[in-house]
Amino acid sequence: MKNLTLTTLSFGNPALRCTACAKHSKQQCKNPAVTGFTVCRMHGARGGPKTQEGIDRIALANTLHGRETRAKRLTRQEITHRHKTANPQAQKQKKKKKKSK
């Protein structure tokens, strides 16, 4: 679990510290966390879409995960599905070979 340290802000007001860490320095953020969140306003508290239209727009965005886009993943899935449905006899033979080994 992240370190939930208490910091003293100006005028002596205590607040929880943001739990986000820098990738390069591996140091914890020094900003106070937003009330009800474990991160500060710069690291995602109260962020994100509020309406269904905004949620849908982000879901349809060309997001990357590693080197894959959603379109690449779908085309690969379609190709594997076509390969499996086009030659079911070959799939059965592969399973038999694996069992015999």
The structural domains of the chain, with segments of one domain joined by +, span: 1-47, 49-84
Q: What is the pTM of this model?
A: 0.44
Is pLDDT above 80 for 79? yes
Q: Give the contacts of 20 (CB within 8 A, at least 6 positions apart).
A: 28, 29, 39, 40, 43, 44
Q: Which two tokens stand for residue 40?
A: 């500060």
Task: Identify whether the C-beta of residue 43 lies closer than 8 Å to the C-beta of residue 22.
Answer: no
pLDDT for res 27: 92
- What is the band of 35 on the pLDDT scale with cuts at 50, 70, 90? confident
| Polymer length of the chain | 101
pLDDT for res 53: 92
Q: Give the contacts of 37 (CB within 8 A, at least 6 positions apart).
A: 45, 46
* pLDDT average, residue stretch 29-53: 87
